[in-house]
Structure 1
Amino acid sequence: MSVLSAHQVSVTIDGNPIVADVDLEVSAGEVVVLVGPNGAGKSTLLSVLSGDVDPSSGHVELAGKHLGHRHARELARLRGVQLQKQGLAFGFRVHEVVRMGRSPWHRTEAAERDDVAVEDSMVRADVTELADRLFPTLSGGEQARTSFARLLAQETPVLMLDEPTAALDIRHQEQLLGVVRDVAAAGAAVVVVLHDLSLAAAYADRVCVLANGRVRADGPPAEVLTGELLTEVYGHPVDVIHHDGALLVVPVRPRPVTTLTDTSEEESSCSAV
């Protein structure tokens, strides 16, 4: 059953359509990845799904109830959000930032899990060694991992992440998305915005391709991520390569042209040696 669903959602800002007539459903245990070029409406759609932005038309349902009818604290117990930009300007330490994820459960029975949830989340996000560091002093990647730990500590049945891997190295990209898959396997519904199409192919159950605010395709990665569609949507030639059971999405680049003069210079250099 669908846990999160958008029904004919549109967002217009200053007369400009940012998202147009989007229908989307996300089920428990599923990882749905939103992809598309810059300005496609990915982050805006995620903000509407999270309840942070009101749609100009249409509506979103979370756990069977209209999103606009839920109180802020109730919403925070149902869905957690990791934004692309970190908004903490004060000198909180990493363990304090992660503990902020437990605030929706204050004065509930779930608060008994605060210490365990924080410790476990820091381990899974690989920030335990950063526990006493001040958040503003961290690198971009370290801040992203700390924000991911805070999201995990919130322990919600729906997770939404906007470009969580953008500042991460290869190891932490794979680690973070591996944890996302584990969370989904445990029953959570997950929506992730990604620019890396190969990562989307590797970790998504479904990929939703957006272009000009509209859904161009929605389905399993092998069906959606085709060279023809991606070339059209991104306005650049793209190849999709099947390698060892995985899809690799790579841009087509022009080969450098070797001129006769270049060849002569190379031969002359070799002769001189």
Structure 2
Amino acid sequence: MTAPGATVRARGVGVAVDGHRILDGVDVDVRPGELLALVGPNGAGKSTLLGVLSGDTVPTTGTVELGGRELRRHAARDLARVRGVQLQQQGLAFGFRVEDVVRMGRSPWHRTPAEDDDERVVAEAMERADVAALGQRHFPTLSGGEQARTSFARLLAQATPVLMLDEPTAALDIRHQEALLDVLRRTVRAGAAAVVVLHDLSLAAAYADRVCVLADGRVRADGPPAEVLTGALLSEVYGHPVDVVEHAGHLLVVPVRTPSPLQEVL
């Protein structure tokens, strides 16, 4: 089994579907102690890259390693003990209670010594994701944001050293967006590795240690937010003028809006 703190390393990764190339020659690392944000416009390949890094999508070309060993050589159960994944779609068709959904995250540790910690780990995960009060609610009755927080709690309960999240903040209000990313950053500071797909560039700037900008299936930039999130690059990549400004020590990414004719008259 791969030791905690393992690096996920992708080199020359390409993915083609029905002759359409979604990723092309992507190199990226997910390293312990770092929170990596994948950003880019719709169709850039962010979710596909996350799928490749997690082992759920097999690349057409290139290699992915976890802890120096090819990802495809890891047994499924061992892989589930090393990396946890939170997808955009929750995919639960039955009326499980929230507590039961979070407890599903412990399944990779069944019949191992770690199973003895299940109750404590589940309770802590629910507190950290702010779903403890929802424990007896049935998952389908929850709002989209509550479902997302429950899925985050399940990811935390899995207790893996590598965490992968696909747009986990999309359905959350401001408070819970900030809280989720703060918990994720604290987990990274404790030695985990994390990669998260984000659409909110200001959130990426505030919480990520590194930002990887994707466009047309290729890496356009990869580095610290202050170096990568520039108005010139983002305007080109997103096809819309963007300003990057500093406020209270944080970078804010703001779209440039052309005044409407009514505004110009007023």
TM-score after normalising by structure 2: 0.96
Question: For 1:209, which of 197, 204, 213 is the aligned residue?
Answer: 213
Distance in 2 between residues matched to 1:244 and 1:259, nearest whole Å: 29
Identity across the alignment (%): 69
In the alignment, which residue of structure 2 is the partner of 1:271? none
In the alignment, which residue of structure 2 is the partner of 1:228? 232
Ranges in structure 2 where 5+ consecutive residues have no aligned partner = none
Distance in 2 between residues matched to 1:2 and 1:46, nearest whole Å: 16
Q: Which has the larger radius of gyration?
A: 1
Counterpart amino acid of residue 255 in structure 1 = P
Cα RMSD of the aligned pairs, angstroms, is: 1.3
CA-to-aligned-CA distance 1:102-137 (integer Å, 9 cap, x gap)? 000000001011000000000000000100000011
Q: 1:231 to 1:199 in 2, by over 3 A?
A: same
Instruction: For 1:20-35, list aligned pairs within 5 A.
Output: 20-35=24-39
CA-to-aligned-CA distance 1:225-248 (integer Å, 9 cap, x gap)? 000000000000000011111000
Counterpart amino acid of residue 256 in structure 1 = S
In the alignment, which residue of structure 2 is the partner of 1:187? 191
CA-to-aligned-CA distance 1:75-119 (integer Å, 9 cap, x gap)? 000000000111001010000000000000000001011000000
Counterpart amino acid of residue 187 in structure 2 = V
In the alignment, which residue of structure 1 is the partner of 2:165? 161
Ranges in structure 1 where 5+ consecutive residues have no aligned partner = 264-273
- Asked whether the 8 Å contact 1:125–1:149 carries over to 2, the reply is yes
CA-to-aligned-CA distance 1:159-209 (integer Å, 9 cap, x gap)? 000000000000000000000000000100000000000000000000000
Confirm whether residue 82 of structure 1 aligns to residue 90 of structure 2: no
Q: 1:115 to 1:231 in 2, by over 3 A?
A: same
Counterpart amino acid of residue 139 in structure 1 = S
Counterpart amino acid of residue 49 in structure 1 = L
Distance in 2 between residues matched to 1:65 and 1:85, nearest whole Å: 29
Runs of 4+ with >4 A deviation = none
TM-score after normalising by structure 1: 0.94
Distance in 2 between residues matched to 1:164 and 1:122, nearest whole Å: 16
Q: 1:225 to 1:259 in 2, by over 3 A?
A: closer
Q: 1:259 offset after TM fit, Å? A: 8.4
Confirm whether residue 240 of structure 1 aligns to residue 241 of structure 2: no
- Asked whether the 8 Å contact 1:102–1:114 carries over to 2, the reply is yes
Q: 1:27 offset after TM fit, Å? A: 1.3
Counterpart amino acid of residue 51 in structure 1 = G
- Asked whether the 8 Å contact 1:2–1:25 carries over to 2, the reply is no
